[in-house]
Amino acid sequence: MKRYIVLGRNNCKYCMFAKQLLTRERKPFEYYLVNTKEGKVILNYFKDIIPADYQFVPKILEVDEKFIGGFDSIFKKIMKEKKKKNTKKTKKKK
């Protein structure tokens, strides 16, 4: 199962949405505030993966060190995975 790292800020509604979506879909994730020591260490570690021009939060990564994007990106990715899963279930029933 894929794991995610979410880097966000306090009072960021899309950071909250991302956490809620990952929790609801039972996707394992770790959440860090970008302005804390831990968040800065993680940002520095992934600086070669996160595009320099991506100045938004949340910043969401798969643990395999693949940059995903923000809330819209993780939402689309999860919905696409759910659609594939539901299509497979429908085919098995036939």
Domain boundaries, the chain: 4-93
Task: Say which residue, 63 or 14, is predicted with more confidence.
Answer: 14
C-beta atoms surrounding 40 within 10 Å: 14
pLDDT at 84: 83
Token reading at 10: 């306090």
pLDDT at site 9: 97
Residues 10-46 have pLDDT tens digits of: 999 999 999 999 999 999 999 999 999 999 999 998 8
Q: Is it true that the peptide bond before 58 is cis, omega within 30 degrees of 0?
A: yes
Question: Taking residues 73-92, what's their average pLDDT?
Answer: 82
Report CA torsion sign: 36, 37, 43, 46.
negative
Look at residue 22 in the predicted model and tell me its pLDDT: 97
Q: Six-digit token pair at 56?
A: 């938004």
* Residue 65 binned pLDDT confidence (cut-offs 50, 70, 90): low
The answer on pLDDT for 94 being more than 60 is no
The answer regarding whether domain 4-93 maps to CATH 3.40.30.10 reads yes
Q: Which two tokens stand for residue 11?
A: 């009072």
Instruction: Determine the Cα–Cα distance for residues 85 and 36; give it in Å rounded to an integer.
Output: 37
